[in-house]
Homo-oligomer: A and B are copies of this chain.
Amino acid sequence: MAGEPAPERADAARNREAILAAALQLVQARGVDCVTMETVASEAGVGKGTVFRRFETREGLMAAVLNESETAWQASVISGPPPLGPGAPPLERLLAFGHSRLRTNVTHAALIKAATGSSSARSRAAASFAVMHVRHLLGELGVSGDLLLLSIALLAPLDVVVVEQQRADDISLERIEAGWDDLVRRVVG
């Protein structure tokens, strides 16, 4: 979009990678809630200030960590095997998409919660990718109406905190999945 936003210095790039690697390793090893910014910094061999300069906030750092796996997931949606990827009929794809998103949200619940609110472009983009995709599928299905809002409405009940609340009320994943399928069918008409 912009011509030359920032020619990143060599050591800065090295540090960014070191920080990201350290954060990823620590999150996997000890769980996201037991990772402090100071620990990440010292593990990466840099000062605390450097971590914050690169990633703004803790949420930003976690969003960056999450981004690795999120990108892979997006790739499998765009160009992976059906029914998640292209090739299957739109309704099947939509249902597969919901299931996949649900599973992902459950699996990475802690990390996602630690990353949300960052609003730091990265997580914004991640959220809007899902909306875009659902909107696209709704279009292929010939659904009419405000597709943007409809997409948001379909995605909302898959949100981590909503799902966690349901699980806390002893609602099984299968039931949540079935409930969502039902919702989709009603919306698609």
Residues in chain A within 8 A of chain B (CB atoms): 116-117, 127, 145-146, 148-150, 152-153, 156-157, 159, 161-162, 165-166, 171, 175-176, 178-180, 182-183, 186-187, 189
Smallest beta-carbon distance A154→chain B, Å: 8
Smallest beta-carbon distance A118→chain B, Å: 12
Tell me if A149 and B187 are in contact (CB < 8 A).
no
Tell me if A153 and B157 are in contact (CB < 8 A).
yes
A156→B166 CA distance, assembly (Å):
12
Tell me if A183 and B187 are in contact (CB < 8 A).
yes
A183→B116 CA distance, assembly (Å):
26
16 interchain pairs, CB-CB under 8 A: A116-B161, A127-B165, A149-B175, A149-B178, A149-B182, A150-B179, A150-B182, A152-B162, A153-B179, A153-B180, A153-B183, A156-B159, A159-B162, A183-B187, A186-B186, A186-B187
Interface of A (DSSP majority class): helix
Tell me if B180 and A152 are in contact (CB < 8 A).
no
Which chain B residues lie closer than 8 Å to A180 at the CB level? 149, 153
Q: Provided the pairs A152-B162, A156-B159, A157-B153 are in contact, do residues A146 and B179 lie with their beta carbons within 8 angstroms?
A: yes
Which chain B residues lie closer than 8 Å to A189 at the CB level? 186
Q: Tell which of A127, A153, A179 has the most Cβ of chain B within 10 Å.
A: A153
Tell me if B187 and A146 are in contact (CB < 8 A).
no
Tell me if A176 and B157 are in contact (CB < 8 A).
no
A180→B187 CA distance, assembly (Å):
12
Smallest beta-carbon distance A120→chain B, Å: 13
Smallest beta-carbon distance A178→chain B, Å: 7
Q: Tell which of A116, A146, A176, A180 has the most Cβ of chain B within 10 Å.
A: A146
